[in-house]
Structure 1
Amino acid sequence: MEAVSNDARAAGGTLRETAPRKAPPGFAAVNFFLADVAGGLGPFLPTWFAEALHWSPEGIGLLMTLGGVFGLAFNTPGGALVDRLGRPKLMVMAGSALILLGVATMVIGHALPFVVAGEIIQAVGAAVVGPAMAAATLGYVGRQHFPSQQGRNAAWSNAGNVSAALLVFLGAKRFGANMPLLVLAGMATLTLVALMLLRPPSGAIARMGLAAGSKPMGWRDFVRQRPIFIFALTLMFFHLGNAAMLPLLGLRLAHFGGQGAAGNATRWMSICVIVSQIAMIAVALVVGRLAERYGRIPLLIGACAILPVRAGIAAFGIAPVWLFPIEILDAMGAGTLGVITPPLAADLSWGSGRTQTVLGFVMTVQGIGASLSNALGGTLIGLIGWKLAFLGLGIPPLIALGLAFTLRRITLTVSPRSGPTSPVPDARR
């Protein structure tokens, strides 16, 4: 029972300090190069569709929603596979290769069947990359120092995104909307090289956190874990408002231009990504330390409170220069969640033998919000215009904020196989 109580304190309070463990230097290189690969074309995808294929905002939004739906189908099984096999390095390599194959299929084919097939292949790859990287991190540093190492992972990942965006910016004038494809291919190659040179984690990775001789938590017990579901719903509503915001800003630039943006949407988007990722480097390092010292849930509350402010600025800040404060707020909100989500998922599921399955599950529910976000944004644009559409995207994060406060009041106090949960005072910190 004491171990489980400590899990609760890790989520909402603190744990006793021990000497920190760190991942090998090569793990930083993997995070650096993998960043551009794991996201596929990321925010450049809608711009590529608009400039290279001349698709409408509604069509692009629906296609991105379809890609999100494919991701939903594979996230939880992907996490379960990582829990079962315990081969995170190999699974990151396989997932990265699939993501690259999916992008190549989509871009080379151009036609709708190839685009859909590419989205499916990417979804399969991405479903294992996230849980596998989390499992590798836990294998290197242990659960207590997971948040600070996750912060370092995120910082290197953001640095990789900055470098990729800089390359896109420098090459966009010559190669246009195809430049992100060239950068992705280069980053994918370097990711595989870094993985081959990386020393794998030592010790048992499969069923991490499960006591010797115990059986993994069954699905009947899983559905009774109220904190896990509240956490997942919090992420869902956050990303329902957040996921579409940057792509819609890119579409607004591509279709309407702006002061100095006409014909340069890809270059402006690369600048936007650069600003966001530089800010996220600092956010990741700070948040990792804060999460380890003060708990994850207070940071979750702060991240949810930031997004409505970002939506308001996006609605009224039409000139391209407003992209800078918008993306700094993105770093503070989404960047914080990127650091604390894997550690908090581990806290809420430790001892169940399904830590990565739970991470895959919360990513699935989070993905519901992200996939619906693009359709929601495109629909709002068609119904009420660009300005009110951005304001509308600020409403779901308010629901997420209420759920985050609810999660603050409750946490796991009994073994995942023992039944329902009850409040713990430490979770209120």
Structure 2
Amino acid sequence: MRSTLQTGLTDRSLVALAVLNFFLADARDGLGPFLDGFLATHGWSPMTLGFIATLGGVLGMIATPLFGAWVDASKRKRTLIIIPVILVTAAALWTLASPGNASVFGGQSATAIVGAVVGPALMGLTLGLVGEKAFSRQVSRNEFWNHLGNVVSLAGIYSVTVYFGVSGVIGLMIVTAVAAILAALAIDPERINHNAARGLAHDDGAPGPSGYSVLVGSKGLILLAVTLMIFHFGNAPISRLIAQDFSIHLGTPFQTTAVTTGVSQLSMIVMALAAPFLIRRFGLATVFLIALLALPIHGAIAGSFSNFAVIYPVQILDGVGAGLIGIATPIAAERILAGTGRFNVGLAAVMTVQGIGASLSNVVAGWLTDVGGYGLAYWVHGGVAALAVAAFLSGRKSIAPSQKDANKAGDDRKIPVAP
């Protein structure tokens, strides 16, 4: 009876986790991809928008490793999702109501800081619910529900702006925030294994390595972080620039961004469905390589054509690259850090380093756009993304170890208890 009850509770918690991922698609990032299009139509320049994105990235970069360590230590992982949702939604509503310097710079700074805890908290919550063996598949499921939520949200925003304008966006944001909070509360806290959530599946009671030694002593983690830093430097600004470009030309920032972002999200849904099979059949390293190769191609296409139809192949390839990277990164971090008990702080460190690339790229992209137009920015950033392929190939066995190698490394890290 107890086993059946526990299974039922776990199932209900996993359903709640799916619902949480569905609504977090809209609730965790505030205005998200709509910010650039919205502000561009209110007279904000590409350079200023790049500076705003960079400021947010730097603040999030500083906060992320601290929050990762917090998630490792905390047993209130649901709360670490709920509070950011409330604060991020409030900041977005402030920006919509009054898009001035205070709301944009202040609101986006707050969004970057508090939003930095959601990623590590969600990964820790997932690992604590399903354990290391089911983690790879569950990450893909999380991404599926997240991207599906994005598509539904984009369709919803497109519709409500047609009939209700900005007030419709405000109502939709409040609804999704409330739904995400209720979903987080529906997860049974008793079902979360906090040792497993840290990446310490086999706790023998011995002290684990310090967070510092894990970060600086892991070749695979360092190479993963460097590869992703280059990847995000090339990739981060392209969708933003497309949203700015066509929002200005078409004069419909919410509808235009909904279409451009929706294409990439649909592509990401396909990747989330395909990723478990691809990882089982070809290995994690091959999935990484496919993701990294998609980015130079989509930068070249974006830089070669200027009509609206170009957004379809560009955003499909964006979905392939970003979608697979989003799934492969936490899986790689979990394998690299198996047995250390420092999964969340290690993943947060990787996110911090990749954030350096994403943050710096926004200022560079804004400058390139001012100097040579959107086409120049697409070409340069697509070319930089090609360097991520070389970085990955130089250490792919360390960056994306097989599950067998990860298990062996985790066993080797066990510290025997003195008799």
TM-score greater than 0.5 by the shorter chain: yes
- Give runs of aligned pairs for residues 2-401 of structure 1, distance below 5 A: 24-51=14-41, 53-176=42-165, 179-200=168-189, 202-206=191-195, 207-209=198-200, 211-218=203-210, 219-255=212-248, 257=249, 262-292=250-280, 294-401=282-389
Which whole-Å CA distance do the structure 1 matches of 2:363 and 2:337 have between them? 32
Which whole-Å CA distance do the structure 2 matches of 1:71 and 1:204 have between them? 27
C-alpha displacement at 1:343, in angstroms? 1.3
Which whole-Å CA distance do the structure 1 matches of 2:155 and 2:208 have between them? 45
1:279-333 Cα shifts (integer Å, max 9, x gaps) = 2111102113322554322211111111010001111221112111111111110
Which whole-Å CA distance do the structure 2 matches of 1:114 and 1:32 have between them? 27
TM-score, with normalisation over the residues of structure 2? 0.87
C-alpha displacement at 1:174, in angstroms? 3.9
Q: Secondary structure at the match of 2:117?
A: helix
Which whole-Å CA distance do the structure 2 matches of 1:78 and 1:235 have between them? 20
1:229-254 Cα shifts (integer Å, max 9, x gaps) = 11011111111111111110111113
| Cα distance change of structure 1 residues 165 and 221 upon mapping to structure 2, 3 Å threshold | closer
Which whole-Å CA distance do the structure 2 matches of 1:334 and 1:352 have between them? 28
C-alpha displacement at 1:144, in angstroms? 1.8
1:338-378 Cα shifts (integer Å, max 9, x gaps) = 11111111111121111000111111111111112221211
Q: Secondary structure at the match of 2:132?
A: coil
Contact 1:97/1:125, CA 8 A, preserved across alignment? no
Which whole-Å CA distance do the structure 1 matches of 2:192 and 2:374 have between them? 52
Q: Aligned AA for 2:389?
A: L
Which whole-Å CA distance do the structure 2 matches of 1:343 and 1:400 have between them? 18
Which whole-Å CA distance do the structure 1 matches of 2:50 and 2:241 have between them? 9
1:104-124 Cα shifts (integer Å, max 9, x gaps) = 344445332332221232123
Q: Aligned AA for 1:240?
A: F
Aligned to 2:393: 405
Which whole-Å CA distance do the structure 1 matches of 2:37 and 2:116 have between them? 24
- Structure 1: where are the runs of 5+ without partners? 1-20, 419-429
Aligned to 2:7: none
TM-score, with normalisation over the residues of structure 1? 0.85
- Structure 2: where are the runs of 5+ without partners? 1-9, 414-419
Which whole-Å CA distance do the structure 1 matches of 2:168 and 2:375 have between them? 30
Contact 1:33/1:190, CA 8 A, preserved across alignment? yes
Q: Aligned AA for 1:92?
A: I
Higher mean alpha-carbon deviation, 120-129 vs 106-115, is at 106-115
Aligned to 1:12: none
CA-based RMSD: 2.2
1:391-413 Cα shifts (integer Å, max 9, x gaps) = 00112211111111122143577
1:114-170 Cα shifts (integer Å, max 9, x gaps) = 322212321232221111111111122211221111111111111110011001111
Contact 1:71/1:127, CA 8 A, preserved across alignment? yes
Which whole-Å CA distance do the structure 1 matches of 2:140 and 2:363 have between them? 31
C-alpha displacement at 1:54, in angstroms? 1.7
Q: Secondary structure at the match of 1:393?
A: helix
| Cα distance change of structure 1 residues 380 and 274 upon mapping to structure 2, 3 Å threshold | same
Which whole-Å CA distance do the structure 1 matches of 2:105 and 2:151 have between them? 28
Q: Aligned AA for 2:160?
A: G
Q: Secondary structure at the match of 1:244?
A: helix
Q: Secondary structure at the match of 1:385?
A: helix
C-alpha displacement at 1:101, in angstroms? 2.6
C-alpha displacement at 1:383, in angstroms? 2.1
| Cα distance change of structure 1 residues 306 and 136 upon mapping to structure 2, 3 Å threshold | same
Q: What is the total number of aligned residue pairs between the two structures?
A: 392
Which whole-Å CA distance do the structure 2 matches of 1:98 and 1:399 have between them? 37
Q: Aligned AA for 1:357?
A: V
| Cα distance change of structure 1 residues 315 and 344 upon mapping to structure 2, 3 Å threshold | same
Which whole-Å CA distance do the structure 2 matches of 1:131 and 1:65 have between them? 21
C-alpha displacement at 1:73, in angstroms? 1.0
C-alpha displacement at 1:201, in angstroms? 5.7
Which whole-Å CA distance do the structure 2 matches of 1:391 and 1:416 have between them? 45
